[in-house]
Amino acid sequence: MPYSPTIDIYTVPTSLGLPFSHWSTMSRFVVTGHAGFIGFHVARQLLEHGHEVLGVDAITDYYDPSLKRSRLQSLRHFDKLVGEEFELEDADRLLRSITNFEPDVIIHLAAQAGVRYSLEAPFAYIQANLVGTFNLLEAARISKPKHLLLASSSSIYGGNQSLPWSETDRTDSPMSLYAATKKGTEDLAHSYSSLWGIPTTAFRFFTVYGPMGRPDMALYKFVKAAFDGDAIDVYGHGKMRRDFTYIDDLVRAIVALINTPPVKNSPVGTADSLSPVAPYRSVNLGGGVPVELMSFIESVEQATGRTLKKNMLPMQMGDVLETYSETTLLRELIGEIPRTPVTTGVVSFVDWYKSYFHIDSTT
Ligand SMILES: NC(=O)c1ccc[n+]([C@@H]2O[C@H](COP(=O)([O-])OP(=O)(O)OC[C@H]3O[C@@H](n4cnc5c(N)ncnc54)[C@H](O)[C@@H]3O)[C@@H](O)[C@H]2O)c1
């Protein structure tokens, strides 16, 4: 079914030009967090290619739920989407919904996201990320998908000093509760994979950005400040470096990985993080090109045509100086590293932002 844009939403390009071999023969997908930034883009790609999707999202108010509703609104034309609104903590409902749907694949993206908010609202992280993930795993145990894919985070590398971060590095120095719950997500999933033989891939995402992105993240805040004429807070005095990942690149990699479920005792290549006891691996999803924060801000200034006022500040609690993804495993699994340059990705975000908020930047 063709994608029908709505007048209230800027539509990002929907075809990622994926080679046919990357499209799954598996056709029934559960996507948790489908109203969220990444889940929305993943669900849309699957729907675009004719797959059935059961989306589960509680539309939490961590950030303005109207953005989540707008994302869902732009999916409304897909009759192969069944969207359900409830918390993962509702174990009975989650189990019922997933087992009734009989998915081939479960993509678990719903979570309480954000490093900094985990200092303010730790309870939400334990509930959504640990209790919610446990309930999801129980549903997977019963429904037996061919592949379970779930979101972890680059933040689990914590205080690791040796860069780039590789999937085979230790991850036992989390620096925030968010990171600890993502480490817990991986460990819970590994135990279920080992016990019940569920082929499982844990994605370690590196600072994902793009159209329809999250208001709590730096790019959104910078662009908003540029158009509102406000100052931005620049942490780490602008010296922090981030391996930014453009959303289309991320979705392209996720879709390619769907068809690559881990097989016990069958590592691919030399860099595989495959568990010695389970069909389980973790994979970095980052381009391997860290960008300094000040250079990222310059891209925002160029794309918006505005010069930002900057409050230069020290690093915040829980933050790390640099994130940098080792990419060998991803290349070995999917044959490429999708890499949209930050300057291009930021322009796409700004185009979306202007359209979404009806901003005429010439005035
Ligand atoms: N965006 C990034 O840069 C990034 C980086 C690392 C990891 N991640 C992880 O990727 C996943 C998706 O992140 P995102 O950026 O799309 O975040 P998001 O906040 O936009 O999406 C998460 C969705 O989950 C839903 N949700 C939260 N708690 C829930 C619960 N208890 N029950 C049901 N639904 C719930 C929210 O309503 C939201 O729509 C998350 O697991 C996040 O931790 C994201």
- Reported as a single tens digit per residue, the pLDDT across 16-66 is 544 445 555 789 999 999 999 999 999 999 999 999 999 999 999 999 999
The mean pLDDT of 323-341, rounded to a whole number, is: 96
Closest by Cα among 116, 144, 129 to 58: 129
Distance 151 CA to ligand 1 centre (A): 8
Q: Which residues contact 342 (CB under 8 A, 6 or more apart)?
A: 244, 246, 291, 295, 296, 299
Query: What pLDDT is stored for residue 84 in this prediction?
Result: 98
Structure tokens at 200: 């499982």
Q: Would you say 54 and 82 are in contact if contact means Cβ atoms under 8 Å apart?
A: yes
What's the whole-number average pLDDT of the chain? Answer: 92
Distance 210 CA to ligand 1 centre (A): 15
> With bands split at pLDDT 50, 70 and 90, how would you rate the model's confidence at 274?
very high
Could you tell me if the CB of 33 is within 6 A of ligand 1?
Answer: yes
Instruction: Give the atom of ligand 1 at the shortest distance from the alpha carbon of 208.
Output: 3
The mean pLDDT of 109-132, rounded to a whole number, is: 96
Residue nearest to atom 12 of ligand 1 (CA): 109
Instruction: Give the atom of ligand 1 at the shortest distance from the alpha carbon of 155.
Output: 6
**Domain covering 27-356 in this structure, CATH number:** 3.40.50.720
Query: What pLDDT is stored for residue 108 in this prediction?
Result: 98
- Is 178 an annotated catalytic residue? yes
Distance CA 296, CA 231 (A): 16
Closest by Cα among 19, 11, 61, 63 to 41: 11
Could you tell me if the CB of 36 is within 6 A of ligand 1?
Answer: yes
Structure tokens at 316: 């915040």
Distance CA 270, CA 145 (A): 27
**Which of 67, 95, 109, 127 for mutating ligand 1's site (highest number of atoms within 8 Å of CB)?**
109
Please give the residue that has the higher pLDDT: either 290 or 360: 290
Instruction: Give the atom of ligand 1 at the shortest distance from the alpha carbon of 185.
Output: 41
Could you tell me if the CB of 151 is within 6 A of ligand 1?
Answer: yes
Instruction: Give the atom of ligand 1 at the shortest distance from the alpha carbon of 152.
Output: 7
Helix (H) or strand (E) holding 234: strand 231-234
Distance CA 232, CA 226 (A): 8
Residue nearest to atom 43 of ligand 1 (CA): 113
Q: Would you say 236 and 293 are in contact if contact means Cβ atoms under 8 Å apart?
A: yes
Catalytic residue among 62, 157, 178, 353: 178
Could you tell me if the CB of 245 is within 6 A of ligand 1?
Answer: no
Check whether 202 has a pLDDT greater than 60: yes
Could you tell me if the CB of 58 is within 6 A of ligand 1?
Answer: yes
Query: What pLDDT is stored for residue 4 in this prediction?
Result: 30
Closest by Cα among 110, 112, 116, 78 to 97: 110
Q: Would you say 300 and 308 are in contact if contact means Cβ atoms under 8 Å apart?
A: yes
Closest by Cα among 169, 172, 146, 102 to 279: 146
Distance 108 CA to ligand 1 centre (A): 9
Distance CA 228, CA 314 (A): 24
Instruction: Give the atom of ligand 1 at the shortest distance from the alpha carbon of 35.
Output: 39
Could you tell me if the CB of 89 is within 6 A of ligand 1?
Answer: yes
Closest by Cα among 272, 61, 257 to 149: 257
Q: Would you say 310 and 234 are in contact if contact means Cβ atoms under 8 Å apart?
A: yes
**Sign of the torsion angle spanned by Cα atoms 72, 77, 78, 82:** positive
Distance CA 140, CA 95 (A): 8
Residue 132: Cβ within 10 Å count: 28
